[in-house]
Amino acid sequence: MGRAGEIPPAMQRAAETADVIELRLDCLEESERDIARGLLPEWLSQSGVPLIVTLRASEQGGHAAIAADARERFWTSVGKLPDVCLIDLELDLIEKLANEEAILKLPVDWRAVICSHHDFTGMPADLDQIYERMAATPAGILKIAVQANDATDCLEVFSLLERAQHDHREMIAIAMGQAGAATRILGPARGSFLTYGSVDEASATAPGQLGAKDLRELYRIDQINRNTQIFGLMGRPVSHSISPQIQNSAFAAEGIDAVYLPFEVLDAGEFLRRMAHPESRELDWNLRGLSVTSPHKTAVMETLDWIERAAKEIGAVNTIVVKGNELHGYNTDALGFISPLRSRFGALKDARCAIIGAGGGARAALWALRNEGAQVGLFVRNVAAARSMAEEFGADCHGLAGAAFGGFDLVVNATPLGTAGAQEDKTAATAAQLRNVRLAYDLVYNPLETHFLREARAAGNETLGGWEMLVAQAVEQFRLWTGQTPRADKMSVAAMNALKK
């Protein structure tokens, strides 16, 4: 819990990026709330931007257990607030006051009241009824925030915004959680009265809330309109990805009216049908293309209208382009994998190469190396499960346990071992296994310095990190989507800066 004295400097920081600042008084101790109530007029007069004052109930996402009668006492004793102030009152409190015919006790201009309702459990079945209850109150602004478990849950939230515009009502509609990011970024361009962003990661007040600085600088939210081209990354999870930093920096550098979003997707087919395919999507938006990551690279192929030969042979699509009324699939992973390798290694014909892993990254690497004329061996934990894949690409298949890679020209880690998080301290191979290898290539890009790369350097290997592959495949995606070749140096700088954070 915070202290009232911390609010003015926090307001000052927020004003650097925000058009409106929300004061969450439920984040204060009860005694500090009493102090804050007395200081509100002073804070409001000193603020350079409009303020929202909120005293949230715990069941509605507040940080303290504050009963309805305590919230009522607070608001009826706060006094008349300046015109630059909005206040957020939960639906239950407004209905309670109305039922008691005491609604006039609140010294507020109801045009400046946000009537809010939050559901942190999911998408309520009675969303339309909740909207109608809120619309029946005297509040000037309606706010509904619900938990999204899949990107398709955003459809109902965008539908609410359409309904409010039809009814000539001001509304804020948000899908919380990682899967709801699109509503936070696109909401204002689709009629939302405002969107919420945190001053920093530690001060986020709801699941999936983005930073205000990212909304301004990364997603360029002020420049998004109904005609803005939409691109994005579909996968699960996607919150770790730096693709938004890479692609949005390229759109900005090239002066293209476009934005790249994260889409947390459970069912690839349903997402493509309901949100992406021009013939069946339920949202009127200018979606032009998608990146595809784990676990959907194979599943999306069933829904596409056309797939390039390389992607068919690899058995995975990582790029979707909207062409007319069709969805076309490509694989840029193979090109992204081989481009930096050629620059570092040179000709790969007859090179002895070992790939560790049997997932989508390994398939792209196998295909690319075989196309270069390399001799490839696949090293896996479960030989029986991976043998058919190895045979499909004309590669040998070996067990990883106890493997020694001495004599190989190239060893590729195509497993997630070493990725930031729970697997960061793991490696697919040790220095002892990597002795006498010319080049070790880790497809993991976050962190920049993986355990595998440290082991490779200890063994005397040259090394190549995954961020170069990430940028190379992103350059090709951009070209497929826009027909333009972006500045790879700009994308590289954006990738590096994101990874350093």
- Domain range for 379: 343-464
Do the Cβ atoms of 114 and 52 come closer than 8 Å?
A: yes
How many CA atoms are closer than 13 Å to the CA of 259, on its beta-carbon side? 26
> Which among 245, 184, 241, 235 is positioned nearest to 209, based on CA atoms?
184
Residues in the chain: 501
Tell me whether the omega of the peptide bond preceding residue 41 falls within 30 degrees of 0, making it cis.
Answer: no
In whole angstroms, give the CA distance from residue 426 to residue 428. 7
pLDDT digits (tens, 9 = 90+) for 176-233: 999 999 999 999 999 999 999 988 766 677 778 999 999 999 999 999 999 999 999 9
β-pairing, 439-442 with 375-380? unpaired
The mean-pLDDT minimum among 89-93, 95-99, 210-214, 397-401 falls in 95-99
Model confidence at 126: pLDDT above 90: yes
Residue 83 falls inside a structural domain: yes
Beta-carbon contacts of 195 under 8 Å, excluding residues fewer than 6 positions away, are: 172, 174, 184, 185, 187, 188, 215, 221
Beta-carbon contacts of 46 under 8 Å, excluding residues fewer than 6 positions away, are: 8
| pLDDT at site 10 | 85
CATH code: domain of residue 305: 3.40.50.10860
Q: Answer yes or no: 297 catalytic.
A: yes
| Band (50; pLDDT cuts 50, 70, 90) | confident
Q: How much of the chain, in percent, has pLDDT values that exceed 90? A: 72
In whole angstroms, give the CA distance from residue 78 to residue 72. 10
130-167: b (≥16 Cβ within 10 Å) or e: bbebbeebebbbbbbbbbbbbbbbbbbbbbbbebbeee
Q: How far is CA 466 from its chain centroid? A: 20
Model confidence at 294: pLDDT above 80: yes
Model confidence at 102: pLDDT above 60: no
CATH code: domain of residue 363: 3.40.50.720
β-pairing, 319-323 with 326-330? antiparallel
In whole angstroms, give the CA distance from residue 209 to residue 174. 10
pTM for this entry: 0.91
Q: How much of the chain, in percent, has pLDDT values that exceed 70? A: 96
SS3 149: coil
Catalytic residue among 105, 297, 323, 490: 297
Residue 326 falls inside a structural domain: yes
Domain boundary among 190, 223, 256: 223
| pLDDT at site 174 | 97
Domain boundary among 271, 305, 331: 331
In whole angstroms, give the CA distance from residue 97 to residue 138. 11
Model confidence at 56: pLDDT above 60: yes
* Pair 313, 393 in one domain: no
Highest mean pLDDT among 81-85, 89-93, 306-310: 306-310
Question: What is the arithmetic mean of pLDDT over 307-311?
Answer: 97
Tell me whether the omega of the peptide bond preceding residue 295 falls within 30 degrees of 0, making it cis.
Answer: yes
**Nearest 5°: CA angle at 42, between 36 and 44?**
90
| Band (60; pLDDT cuts 50, 70, 90) | confident
The residue that leads in pLDDT, 205 or 243, is 243
Residue 190 falls inside a structural domain: yes
| Band (154; pLDDT cuts 50, 70, 90) | very high
In whole angstroms, give the CA distance from residue 103 to residue 85. 19
| pLDDT at site 349 | 97
| Band (99; pLDDT cuts 50, 70, 90) | low
Residue 473 falls inside a structural domain: no
Residue linked to tokens 């202290």: 3
How many domains does the chain fold into? 3
Residue 152 falls inside a structural domain: yes
CATH code: domain of residue 65: 3.20.20.70
* Pair 418, 397 in one domain: yes
Where do the DSSP E strands lie in 10-100?
21-24, 51-54, 85-90
**What is the secondary structure of 379-401 as a DSSP string?**
EES-HHHHHHHHHHTT-EEEE-T
The mean-pLDDT minimum among 22-36, 196-210, 267-281, 313-327 falls in 196-210
pLDDT digits (tens, 9 = 90+) for 397-407: 999 998 999 99
Beta-bridge mates of residue 89: 115
* Pair 234, 210 in one domain: no
Average pLDDT over the chain, rounded to an integer: 91
Beta-carbon contacts of 255 under 8 Å, excluding residues fewer than 6 positions away, are: none
In whole angstroms, give the CA distance from residue 16 to residue 18. 6
* Pair 350, 372 in one domain: yes
* Pair 327, 360 in one domain: no
Model confidence at 77: pLDDT above 80: no
